[in-house]
Structure 1
Amino acid sequence: MGNEQTSKAVPTTPAPQRPTSQATVLAEAARWTVDRIRTLWALVSGRPVSLYAASVLRIGYGLLYLIFLLREFPHRHEIWGLNSPWTPALARQLFDQTGWNSILTLSDSRAYFELCYAMALVTSALFMLGWRTRVMSVLFAVVVISFHARAIFMTDGGDNLILLMAVYLVLTACGRRWSLDERRGRIKAARAGTRPEPVRSFSSQQLHDARTCLTTVVHNCGIFVIAAQVCFLYGSTGLYKVQGATWGNGTALHYALNLELFQPWPALSHLVDQYPIPITIACYMTVLLQVAFPFVLFGRLKYPVLALLLCMHIGIAVLMGLPLFSGAMIVADAVFLPDRFYRLLGRLWRRTTQRISGRSAEASHGPESAHVPAQPGPVLTTTPSSAAQ
């Protein structure tokens, strides 16, 4: 018994408790959420996206509305003026119910109406050219809203989309590409040359960075809203057509081609109506393209879809006499094309103009100057005798 050794109790530290599986899942979910929020914020505030597409929308809608106002210039008094069946008094009654407003109803003077119409033409042209785009975008939205609200029952559905896009373009930096503002910025930078930039104070630098970040965020959100609007328009239109019996059996375009209200060229409409199988295929393709459009935007399949939609809108403009609506939809589809596509178009345009200018220069110098090299002039040598004379 004396040889027995008593075992001493060794103090052991308790093992750290591992978090439960539920706590681990919650922590991972919170980390994933934070990472996604950071990624989304970096995407929204990092750099302005689709600057070329925004410029195409500015040029397209400014040009469309300018053409629209010029086309309706002989009929402006019957649509928006004092001779309109929808009188200013009726427009004011509708404004009380809908909350709309229009600068055209502020006065019943004919001179005031002519001044507003002239200002609308100038505003559309300057907005299209990109002169003081931030101010002109607001004025263009006011013009479109005023003319749309003044005679809401007198025009077609094309100006509805132009109205929405005019409001959305106020949020975007649509004057940074292909505009007079960009040209003025290039000239200003070239004049500055290598002159050092003025040193800003800390508060001034902070305000500048905050303004740049806010402008970028608002622009990117505006582009997202425009893209979402187009997707919603195509998707809802396609789903609405699916519910119709005429679109289901492929006869909707047949009835549309035989409506007298939408026959700018009746002979052409009757000629197209003589081919029932292509018309039926066009019916099904229209529904398929519109329903599938929101789901093909993140792959290369969107390019053939956009090409087919372009053909569809051209057909609507020609066969149904709705050029304003078709033009508005074609311009809206341009928001889904990347900037590299527009840069490629710009390079092709510059090469084409350079070739044309080169050919015109060769033609102006005559055909022989383009092939015969320039001959060297006579070499004059001086001799001592000639120098003495």
Structure 2
Amino acid sequence: MSSPLLKEVESKWGDAPKPPTPPRPSQVSKAVLDNEEAVLDDEDPPNVPYHGDLDDEFSKVTPRAAMRLVGRGIELLVQITGDIPPTPPPTSPTVPNMRGMMAERELIRSNSEKNLARMMQEAARETAQSAASSSRDTPASSQLGGLTISTPEPIDGVRLRQRPRPWPSFLQPPPRSRPPEPYIIVGENQQPINVQHSAISRRFYARQVPPFTVSAWLERFHTYCPMSTGVYLAASMWIHRLVVKDQSIVLSTRSAHRLTLAALWVSMKALEDNSWSQSKISKIGGIARAELTRLEIGFLFLTNFELAVTRETLKTHWEVLKAEDRLSELYQRLPVHPQHRYRAGPGPPKEQAPAGKENERPDGQ
């Protein structure tokens, strides 16, 4: 049954006119739309940014797929390198990145030495000029703003003792000459750049080999601290540049995890607006916060603070990672070189017996 209120509303609004039907588009409006589409096809409209071909395969890469591709690429570099301990510093800065930093520091040092020599010459010149002016300006009396201070003259050949008079209160005493401040030459006692890079690279080496692969570690990392596709690709690109191109650090089973953690932390802070906290990253990575800070600073100095990336560079590196992924499948079928005792796997490397003592018993018999 309908309520009286509903009947009253229907009686009031029952005679209201119905809205007209929507008009059909005419041929003129269709021609105008076709003309606008033709204009948009011929030239780009103003104030519209160009995004390129966003429908390609690279734009559809998910963060988890990029993370797995990066993990396999890093493991391939580890397998090629093998379990190599930290090497001594090179005898000369042969790395292009190190040569550039060495030249820059030499330029700063030479400029500092030139500035010091020029300052010493100017100080000696000012000292000579002040001594010459003081020897010329020795009058019998000196006029100080209307106040005459006379010097005693000898009486009957006897020169009286001159007592030091207090300086008038309304006059300011002459400024005292301060000793020159020590000048510091930038980079005077610094070590060579190759020794510094060796000390920085040693921070990424762990005492023991982690019992899990880089891929398994990245899977756990992505579970608790997921990141974007660009962060994973940028971190992998910087690692490849340090290991393959610059050769400023050796990627082995002892340094892969720490170097990857530092690269991800720097990449997230450089590319993302919102990043995870340092405490959470350090807990997931398994190191202390102070150690994560040292790894971050060391990674920045190894890369020479060159962190700029573009979509084209990330896409190029993504294609390189896909090629390395196919190469890793072929590498698994090759025999292991004796020097590469350990491939990235769940277990630690096996100790090798010294040469000539393979058949010797533990008790020496």
With the length of structure 2 as denominator, give the TM-score of the two structures: 0.26
Identify the structure with bigger relative contact order (alpha carbons < 8 Å, sequence gap 6+): 2
Determine which structure has the larger helix proportion and give its number. 1
Q: Report which of the two structures shows the higher radius of gyration computed on alpha carbons.
A: 2
With the length of structure 1 as denominator, give the TM-score of the two structures: 0.25
